[in-house]
């Protein structure tokens, strides 16, 4: 059936235009007609299959969505800005944990061989969580499609697509950073420390990001494997399921916890991301709503168990 519709779509300009018009109308309705609460409830039901209870949130995903609608401060906007958060990190824990910045710009026209160094870099924007480009060798690159891509990304307000308020007032920028690679030439493991009420509760470890083998394993604060997964779909398809084998605890894990809990003091829930590059820690980002609170925690009872551990303290004070 899919092949049949694809064939019609590709062979008929009229059908194609009708389809694209429908997508534009759907996008307009989602952005301009649905309230934040209605949008959040709709996406929650689509992702998890049950209704979101905002009056009495119990599960972790419910509480994440409650935070989306109620937990809003200027600090959230600053920390969601992947450029401005660098200054915040420098003040809180020190600039030695920042990934080296090559440059930042408001214009995609600055993406050229003249401004890109001879070593590998990653190009991304400061205001959303998608659309990066890895440049291993600038001399192999056709810059025109990359400039076009980032010029479009600069015009997107991620708030419209997610209704996550912290992105709404970020001034869009392009950031170029040094690409972190370990001694074997691989992207280092990505450690995500999920903090509840200022303390690390669990750790997810991402391996082989952007590859078909992308996996995500879960551990507690004592580096014991957890009996659940909080997975999402890979960019390449399938789910980021945990590895069967146990991963070795990183030598810098205790420092990772200490720094994460220092950064987490201002929030009820925050995920602090780190790269461990041959023993040296680099800060990744702060995330306030893991997977938008729309990905299942399996087995399902763990969504409730973890939700019971997260207390909405600071957020309730803000909304009173």
At 309, list the tokens.
């551990």
| Calpha distance 308→58 (Å, rounded) | 6
The residues spanned by each domain of the chain are 100-181
Instruction: Let me know: does 268 contact 67? Beta carbons within 8 Å.
Output: yes
User: With 0-12 CB in 10 A as exposed, 13-18 as middle and 19+ as buried, what is 68?
Assistant: buried
pLDDT of residue 167: 96
For 13-47, write each residue's pLDDT tens digit: 776 666 666 655 566 556 666 899 999 999 999 99
Grade residue 133 by pLDDT with cuts at 50, 70 and 90.
very high
Grade residue 231 by pLDDT with cuts at 50, 70 and 90.
confident
Residue 242 has pLDDT above 70, yes or no: no
With CA atoms as reference, report the closest residue to 114 among 152, 80, 82, 141. 141
pLDDT of residue 16: 64
| Average pLDDT for 224-242 | 70
Lowest average pLDDT, out of 7-21, 70-84, 293-307, goes to 7-21
Tell me the CA distances in angstroms from 308 to 141, 148, 270, one per residue in order.
Answer: 50, 46, 16
Query: Looking at the DSSP assignment, which residues form a beta bridge with residue 14?
Result: none
For 97-124, write each residue's pLDDT tens digit: 999 999 999 999 999 999 999 999 999 9
Residue 191 has pLDDT above 80, yes or no: yes
pLDDT of residue 320: 45
Can you give the pTM of this predicted structure? 0.86
| Average pLDDT for 196-216 | 82
Looking at every residue in the chain, the average pLDDT score rounds to 89
Q: In this structure, what are the phi and psi dihedrals at residue 276, rounded to the nearest 5 degrees?
A: -110, 100
pLDDT of residue 234: 43
For 261-281, write each residue's pLDDT tens digit: 999 999 999 999 999 998 999
Residue 319 has pLDDT above 60, yes or no: no
Phi-psi region of 53 (alpha: psi -120 to 50; beta: other; left: phi over 0): beta
Residue 317 has pLDDT above 60, yes or no: no
| Average pLDDT for 304-313 | 96
pLDDT of residue 20: 62
At 182, list the tokens.
């370990």
pLDDT of residue 173: 98
pLDDT of residue 129: 78
Instruction: Let me know: does 282 contact 180? Beta carbons within 8 Å.
Output: yes
Residue 233 has pLDDT above 80, yes or no: no
Grade residue 299 by pLDDT with cuts at 50, 70 and 90.
very high
With CA atoms as reference, report the closest residue to 78 among 10, 126, 148. 126
């Amino acid at each position: 059936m899919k092949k049949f519709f694809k064939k019609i779509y590709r062979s008929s300009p009229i059908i194609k235009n009708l389809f694209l018009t429908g997508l534009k109308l759907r996008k307009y309705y989602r952005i301009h007609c649905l309230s934040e609460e209605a949008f959040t409830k709709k996406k929650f039901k689509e992702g998890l299959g049950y209704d979101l209870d905002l009056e009495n949130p119990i599960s972790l995903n419910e509480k994440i969505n409650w935070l989306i609608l109620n937990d809003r401060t200027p600090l959230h906007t600053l920390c969601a800005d992947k450029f401005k958060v660098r200054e915040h990190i420098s003040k809180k824990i020190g600039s030695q944990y920042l990934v080296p910045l090559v440059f930042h710009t408001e214009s995609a026209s600055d993406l050229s061989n003249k401004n890109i160094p001879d070593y590998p870099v990653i190009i991304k924007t400061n205001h959303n969580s998608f659309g990066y480009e890895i440049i291993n060798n600038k001399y192999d690159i056709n810059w025109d499609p990359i400039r076009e891509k980032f010029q479009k990304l600069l015009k997107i307000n991620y708030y419209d697509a997610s209704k996550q308020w912290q992105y709404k007032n970020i001034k869009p920028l392009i950031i170029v950073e040094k690409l972190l690679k370990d001694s074997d030439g691989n992207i280092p493991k990505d450690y995500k420390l999920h903090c509840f009420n200022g303390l690390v509760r669990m750790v997810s470890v991402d391996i082989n990001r952007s590859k078909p083998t992308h996996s995500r394993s879960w551990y507690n604060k004592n580096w014991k494997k957890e009996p659940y997964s909080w997975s999402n779909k890979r960019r390449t398809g399938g789910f980021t399921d945990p590895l069967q084998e146990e991963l070795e605890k990183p030598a810098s894990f205790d420092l990772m916890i200490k720094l994460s809990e220092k950064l987490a003091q201002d929030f009820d829930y925050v995920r602090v991301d780190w790269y461990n590059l041959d023993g040296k820690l680099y800060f990744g980002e702060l995330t306030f709503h893991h997977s938008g609170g729309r990905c299942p925690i399996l087995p399902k009872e763990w969504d409730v168990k973890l939700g019971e551990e997260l207390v909405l303290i600071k957020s309730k004070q803000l909304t009173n």
